[in-house]
Amino acid sequence: MFETRLTQLLGIKYPIIQGGLQWLATSQLASAVSEAGGLGMISSLTFPDRESLRREIRLMRERTKNPFGVNLSMLPELTKGDRTEEILEVLLEERVPVVETSGRSPEPFVQKLKDHHIKLIHKVPSVRFAKKAESIGADAVAIVGFECGGHPGMDDVTSLVLIPLASQSLRIPVIAGGGIADGRGLVAALALGAEGVVMGTRFVLTEECPAHPAIKERFLRARETDTMLIQRSIRNVARVIRNKAAEITLSMEEKGATLEELMTVISGQMSKEAYQRGDTEGAIFACGQCVGLIHEIKSVKEVIEEMIREARVILQRLNQKIKN
């Protein structure tokens, strides 16, 4: 029932992909997703150097024999510069099954990925970027709408509009992201023309996610109105949980703060340490509006199996309505 071009392309059971989730998407979480029939994703920038990333990829292979991916976010860090080439070398050498890119066009190394038989998913916030990704040889495109945690782009277009637009414009499989946390979202995405979904926030609230319990509890208490957009002034819009750090960031932007000044609040290193310490107010945390749909921390397997069960029930109900 849930076999799509995406499941066929990636060799997975269910059309469910785990988002990149920097600092959280380690083999601990990603292997659980792959074992449950989805596509687990390791965040490459979580690891400080090539050898630590290589060890994590090999640990992933020890934990699951199923397909998995590695996220390569191509946004330069203020202090370390662009690590794309360094990370890419490891991904090619280790022949990871799937690479998910975001941030800028992966065109310079698409052929290298193809030569190593690595599938490429490019994540974008708009249809124009999705078309570009298809034209340079991406195997699939993940398109994320206004609701998504992380970076929804500058256009403020919702998933409900982006998904059908992308699906009718592209020949390659479209993966829907933004606002999806359960079987209802999966069915809706498929109905809109997508071949699968990508979820980040839902997988934060799982037993296998390495975020501190205090962070998970903060997300669990959040409603759909408890996220906010920051970083528009530097054209890198981010949807994050509403907390002290996010409010300070927005206030600084309104006063014309420079990137260097903003980094004293939005630095990735601060988020990493806060995830570990359980500091819910001292750093920014990506969080989608679908957080309001999540009321319980469960295992990854339970999340995916419940999604599929719920989706089946919905489809049966819809079929019955049509028959009547």
Q: Residue 233 falls within a domain, yes or no?
A: yes
171 with 248, same domain: the answer is no
pLDDT at 322: 80
- The neighbour count for residue 68, using CB atoms within 10 Å, is 27
pLDDT of 279 above 60: yes
Name the domain boundary from 155, 189, 211: 211
Inter-residue contact 29 to 40 (CB < 8 Å): yes
Q: Residue 15 falls within a domain, yes or no?
A: yes
224 with 177, same domain: the answer is no
Mean pLDDT of 186-206: 98
31 with 67, same domain: the answer is yes
Element (H, E) at 35: helix 27-35
Q: Residue 228 falls within a domain, yes or no?
A: yes
Q: Residue 322 falls within a domain, yes or no?
A: no
- Going from the C-alpha of 91 to that of each of 43, 51, 56, the distances in angstroms are 12, 11, 11
Query: What is the residue type of 136?
Result: I
Tell me which residue of 99, 297, 138 sits closest to 205, measured CA to CA: 297
Tell me which residue of 94, 12, 91, 78 sits closest to 44, measured CA to CA: 91
pLDDT of 208 above 80: yes
pLDDT of 80 above 70: no
Paired tokens of 85:
């080439």
- For tokens 């990603």, what's the residue? 30
Each residue of 236-265: pLDDT tens digit? 999 999 999 999 999 999 999 999 999 999
253 with 178, same domain: the answer is no
Mean pLDDT of 136-143: 98
Paired tokens of 237:
């819009």
- The neighbour count for residue 150, using CB atoms within 10 Å, is 24
35 with 81, same domain: the answer is yes
Domain that holds residue 124: 5-211
63 with 160, same domain: the answer is yes
242 with 144, same domain: the answer is no
Give the confidence band of 77 by pLDDT, cuts at 50, 70, 90: low
Is 322 buried (19+), middle (13-18) or exposed (0-12) by CB count in 10 A?
A: exposed
166 with 245, same domain: the answer is no
pLDDT at 201: 98
Mean pLDDT of 273-293: 97
Distance CA 242, CA 222 (A): 9
pLDDT of 74 above 90: no
Helix and strand numbers, DSSP H then E, in the chain: 14, 10
Determine what percent of the chain is predicted with pLDDT higher than 70: 98
Q: Residue 262 falls within a domain, yes or no?
A: yes
13 with 142, same domain: the answer is yes
Dihedral, CA of residue 284, residue 129, residue 167 and residue 176, to nearest 10: -10
Mean pLDDT of 189-210: 98
Number of domains in the chain: 2
The backbone region for 61, taken as left when phi is positive above 0, alpha when psi lies in -120 to 50, beta otherwise, is alpha
DSSP state letters, 239-298:
EEE-SHHHHHHHHHHHTT--HHHHHHHH-HHHHHHHHHHT-SSSS--B--GGGGG----B
Name the domain boundary from 211, 227, 261: 211
- pTM, 2 dp: 0.95
Q: Residue 24 falls within a domain, yes or no?
A: yes
99-117 core/surface letters (b: 16 or more CB in 10 A; e: else): bbbbbebbeebbeebeeee
258 with 136, same domain: the answer is no
Name the domain boundary from 211, 236, 264: 211
Q: Residue 144 falls within a domain, yes or no?
A: yes
190 with 74, same domain: the answer is yes
Compute the C-alpha angle 319/320/324, nearest 5°. 120
Is 84 buried (19+), middle (13-18) or exposed (0-12) by CB count in 10 A?
A: buried
pLDDT at 78: 47
β-bridge mates for residue 150, sequence order? 239
pLDDT at 76: 54
Q: Residue 282 falls within a domain, yes or no?
A: no
Q: Provide the CATH number for the domain around residue 66.
A: 3.20.20.70
Each residue of 292-304: pLDDT tens digit? 999 999 999 999 9
45 with 125, same domain: the answer is yes
The mean predicted confidence, pLDDT, of the chain is 95
